[in-house]
């Protein structure tokens, strides 16, 4: 499982001009599921996202998690994070999970975050989405349950 995590002041996602998910302060998470991912990857991602200390404390150090600051998460499916463009000009997506599996694990991440008491807004799985955000910092991180980065 891979994620691009952006600390945001606000973020939203629209489908056909309709806002389907929006948050204020928190994290915008673009999430991709690999063919080899399973429950352990879901648990890892939930732990990492909920505990990631990328919000400033009273001294300005990145010492607080999204939970600690009362932030929310906007979770957006993003299969293209597994795009491999090392050869040719068209990326290969063979490492991306099938739609059914990807949606199941994507929903499991959202549910796991909600179980921890986090507010989670979502994009619409499989839809063409317009994502808007104000990146706070900017702070952007790459996460991988496989330890790639």
Residue 149 annotated among the catalytic residues of the structure: no
CB 125 within 8 A of CB 3: no
Q: 17 in helix, strand or coil? A: coil
Residue 94 annotated among the catalytic residues of the structure: no
Q: Which of 126, 122, 127, 110 is nearest to 15 (CA)?
A: 127
* Given 6, 14, 55, 79, the catalytic residue: 79
* Given 6, 14, 55, 78, the catalytic residue: 78
Q: Which of 100, 49, 38, 93 is nearest to 71 (CA)?
A: 49
Q: What is the rounded distance in angstroms from the CA atom of residue 51 to the CA atom of residue 18?
A: 31
Residue 122 annotated among the catalytic residues of the structure: no
* Given 19, 35, 80, 140, the catalytic residue: 80
Active site residues: 78-80
């Amino acid at each position: 499982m891979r994620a691009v995590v952006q600390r945001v002041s606000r973020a939203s996602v629209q489908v056909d001009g309709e806002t389907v998910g929006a948050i204020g302060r928190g994290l915008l998470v673009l999430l991709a599921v690999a063919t080899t991912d399973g429950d352990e990857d879901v648990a890892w991602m939930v732990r990492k996202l909920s505990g990631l200390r990328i919000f400033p404390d009273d001294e300005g150090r990145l010492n607080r998690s999204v939970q600690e600051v009362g932030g929310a998460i906007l979770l957006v499916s993003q299969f293209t994070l597994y795009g491999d463009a090392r050869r040719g000009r068209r990326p290969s997506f063979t490492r991306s999970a099938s739609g059914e599996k990807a949606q199941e694990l994507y929903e499991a991440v959202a549910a796991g975050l909600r179980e921890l008491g986090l507010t989670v807004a979502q994009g619409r799985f499989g839809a063409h989405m317009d994502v808007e955000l104000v990146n706070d910092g900017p702070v952007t991180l790459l996460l991988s349950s496989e330890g790639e980065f």
